[in-house]
Structure 1
Amino acid sequence: MPRIKLHKLAAVIVLAATAGWILTGEFSSVGSAIPGSDTPPVEDDKVAIETPLRTVAVVVPPRTMHSRTIRVSGTTEANKHTRLAARVGGIVSELPVAKGSPVDAGDLIMRLDAEGKVAAVDMAKAMLAQREAEAKAAERLAKSGNMAKLRLDGAQTALAQARSQLEAADAELARNEVRAPFAGLVDRVAVEKGSAILQGAEIATVLSLDPILAVGQVSEHDLAELEIGNTATVRLVDGTSLEGTLRYISREAAPQTRTFRVEIAIANPRLEIPAGMTAEISLRADMVQSVFLPRSVVTLSETGDLGVRIVTPQDLVDFVPIDLIDDTPQGLVLGGIPDDARIIVAGQDLVKTGDAVNAVEADAETVKRLVGQLAGPVN
């Protein structure tokens, strides 16, 4: 029997092993799994990426007491203003005043020609003297029993009539005169000496300018903030700044504008401030607790309300509506902000209510600027 060569025997063995491996079917899983691996398959869904918190600068501003300022436009007016008229007709015989003349209460402004009224007064005085003498004589006779009581009563009645006639004559004579009803300034004289006037004709205009009044109209929203005695600053059109006191608040609104008249009394001893000047009135109400902030801090909420954004103790953004107390050249004076509120002063327009943020204290320069501006408003 012929002998099989070694290489042929090795080929037969390899062929048999290959055929056996193919018959097991394990070739289809090559590379599809790694034994002992715990790595989960990668899903096709969106992978969640954590967003870093936005950093905002916050500050707790110092608080101060500040009075709410209500600004209105107005004009100056005389404290008293009257047009004097003639009570009877006649010829002007005396006119001792001129335009611009100062007068005291009771000073003569004009006198008409008496035309016999002085004689009527003199006659009434003489009649009164006679009736007084007759009444005294009748009283003596009545006491001694030499005159009946009825005649005494007649004498006393005649005396009363004489007194009444004198009072009527004096009153008629007084109608010829026009006198100043109060101390002030004669602003206008409408007659001339020697001219004839009728009853009711205008004689002169007298103004009382001390105190002078600054008069304006406040809205119904500001009415509750004002009280009689509040201080006010009045700036005239020529730049003059004056201090005054609120002395009157109307309790009835103007029907067209729904505003209320207010009057501020200002001392004017030299009568330098005339009536009718344009004035800007700044009324100061009672003092309230407030904070002073730059205008850039104020922002709008999602609903359009004006306010500031703050950071809560949980580092969440919240919105606080503000109460505008005063608007000064240096910034805004605001009320309605909670105590110890951390107000966002940088980044407030990049966040919204409910956002979680990384709140950091504002830099020293920002804090210094806020504290420096706090000295700006005048309480």
Structure 2
Amino acid sequence: MSRRLPPLSVLLAIGLVLLLLLWLALGDQERFRETAPPAEEAEAVAPPRVEVVERRAEEHSPRLVVQGQLEAHRELELRARQAGRVAALPVALGSQVERGEVLLEVAGDELPERLEQAEAELALARAELAGAEDLRRRELISNIDYLRLQSGAARAVAEVAALRRQLDETRPVAPFDGVLDRLDVEPGDLLQVGESWGRLVDDTRLIASGWVPQRQAPGLAPGLATEVRLLDGSHLPGELTHVASRADESTRSFRIEVATDNPERRRLAGASASLIVTLPERRVHRLSPALLELDEQGRLAVKHLDDDDRVRRDRVELVDADTREARVAGLPERVRLITLGGGFVAPGDRVTPAPAETMPEAESPLAPPEPR
């Protein structure tokens, strides 16, 4: 009895399985070979392609914007030096006054009469002293009596000076040109010594003050050009006059002051404003904010190419930025920035650079936004 052969389909299936096992065995030997592939084979793989644009460093004057408020250049709280009733108000509220102009009159009560009496006593003391000097030359008066008369004359001089000062204090005058910004009394009111009755403001010059973070304070110095931007959009030119030497303990920020002229006497004292300080010039590169990235330490960095077309990633300092571009420091004077493909390469990789100018302008990361 003859043996029957398996069907042809079974034989074909067995043959295909044997061929597949043989192919897998030979493939593993080729993939896990111990020696590196020949140089010609490695060079057959082309380096990745990136778009680059060449940039040169340029001078840039960064600006620091600080929110602050305006104050009058000089402001004086007016207080009574002599007690008494208000006799007259020579100057109306809001009036402009000149230095030396009388602002208030307080009833001096008996001061004028006391001054007149003191002046008469001074005249008598001086006459007695003059007569004593004549007697002294003739040795008709003792030295003690002469010194007693001399002391009395000096005491009379001091009394007259004190009464004149008190009488002047009943008619206080403006110590500088300004505006009577506040007046809290009326004729007949009773004033006590030290009581506030008004305020004098010199607003021909303004002081704008604000606070800057401690990171930005070292770059500031008196004399820097500054603009004061008001709420209505207008600007006043000014100059940085003061930078605090010590930070505020609670905010760790430094106070700055900017002086600006106010020739038109606009009512700006006490209003809020923006201080725009122009910092010293620096060499920076302009680039798209999209090209900025963070390195392993979380610091800003930018990828670019060296002379051998290898990728470098250098840390940069953000000097200034707006919605369209950023200005950074820390890159070589002349640099080729990677504008497209930087996310697929790492520092040290060799790449094939292509000028970014070959890209359509709308696709370039440095292209300005289209108008809406």
Give the TM-score normalised by structure 1.
0.79
Q: Residues 84 and 192 of structure 2 are in contact (CA less than 8 Å); yes or no, is this contact kept in structure 1?
A: yes
How many angstroms apart in 1 are the aligned matches of 2:172 and 2:267? 27
1:149 pairs, out of 113, 125, 143, with 143
Equivalence map 1:34-113=2 (5 Å): 43-44=27-28, 45-46=30-31, 50-113=44-107
1:189 pairs, out of 183, 186, 195, with 183
2:353 pairs, out of 338, 344, 359, with 359
1:284 pairs, out of 278, 281, 287, with 278
Rg larger in structure: 1
Contiguous gaps of at least 5 residues in structure 2: 1-24
Please list the CA deviations of residues 267-297 of structure 1 after superposition, one character each: whole Å capped at 9, or x if unmatched. Answer: 1122215112121112222222112223233
How many angstroms apart in 2 are the aligned matches of 1:120 and 1:224? 62
Report what 1:14 is aligned to. none
How many angstroms apart in 2 are the aligned matches of 1:155 and 1:305? 86
Deviation at 1:204, TM superposition (A): 0.5
Between 241-250 and 338-347, report the one with greater CA deviation. Answer: 338-347
Between 123-132 and 111-120, report the one with greater CA deviation. Answer: 123-132
Q: Residues 215 and 263 of structure 1 are in contact (CA less than 8 Å); yes or no, is this contact kept in structure 2?
A: yes
1:257 aligns with 2:254: no
Q: Residues 85 and 203 of structure 1 are in contact (CA less than 8 Å); yes or no, is this contact kept in structure 2?
A: yes
Please list the CA deviations of residues 78-135 of structure 1 after superposition, one character each: whole Å capped at 9, or x if unmatched. Answer: 2222221112331101212222222233332212111010111111112212222222
Q: Residues 70 and 209 of structure 2 are in contact (CA less than 8 Å); yes or no, is this contact kept in structure 1?
A: yes
How many percent identity over aligned positions?
Answer: 28
Task: Give the match's secondary structure for 2:104.
Answer: strand
How many angstroms apart in 2 are the aligned matches of 1:200 and 1:234? 37
1:278–1:145 distance in 2 versus 1, CA, 3 Å? same
Please list the CA deviations of residues 287-313 of structure 1 after superposition, one character each: whole Å capped at 9, or x if unmatched. Answer: 221122232332333554322111112
1:202–1:157 distance in 2 versus 1, CA, 3 Å? same
Equivalence map 1:328-339=2 (5 Å): 328=322, 330-339=324-333
Task: Give the match's secondary structure for 2:280.
Answer: strand
Letter in 1 for 2:91: V
CA RMSD of aligned residues (A): 2.7
Report what 1:158 is aligned to. 152
How many angstroms apart in 2 are the aligned matches of 1:293 and 1:98? 60
Letter in 1 for 2:346: K
How many angstroms apart in 1 are the aligned matches of 2:110 and 2:198? 26
Q: Residues 62 and 371 of structure 1 are in contact (CA less than 8 Å); yes or no, is this contact kept in structure 2?
A: no
Contiguous gaps of at least 5 residues in structure 1: 1-40, 374-379
Between 346-355 and 188-197, report the one with greater CA deviation. Answer: 346-355
Report what 2:11 is aligned to. none
1:128 aligns with 2:128: no
Task: Give the match's secondary structure for 1:341.
Answer: strand
Letter in 2 for 1:175: E
Report what 1:177 is aligned to. 171
Aligned length: 331
1:254–1:171 distance in 2 versus 1, CA, 3 Å? same
Deviation at 1:334, TM superposition (A): 1.5
1:218 pairs, out of 207, 212, 216, with 212
Deviation at 1:332, TM superposition (A): 1.9
Task: Give the match's secondary structure for 1:181.
Answer: coil
Deviation at 1:354, TM superposition (A): 2.3
Between 167-176 and 220-229, report the one with greater CA deviation. Answer: 167-176
How many angstroms apart in 1 are the aligned matches of 2:262 and 2:323? 30
1:187–1:236 distance in 2 versus 1, CA, 3 Å? same
How many angstroms apart in 2 are the aligned matches of 1:42 and 1:257? 72
Between 240-249 and 130-139, report the one with greater CA deviation. Answer: 130-139
Deviation at 1:137, TM superposition (A): 2.5
Task: Give the match's secondary structure for 1:124.
Answer: helix
Equivalence map 1:286-365=2 (5 Å): 286-301=280-295, 304-328=298-322, 330-363=324-357
How many angstroms apart in 2 are the aligned matches of 1:162 and 1:372? 89
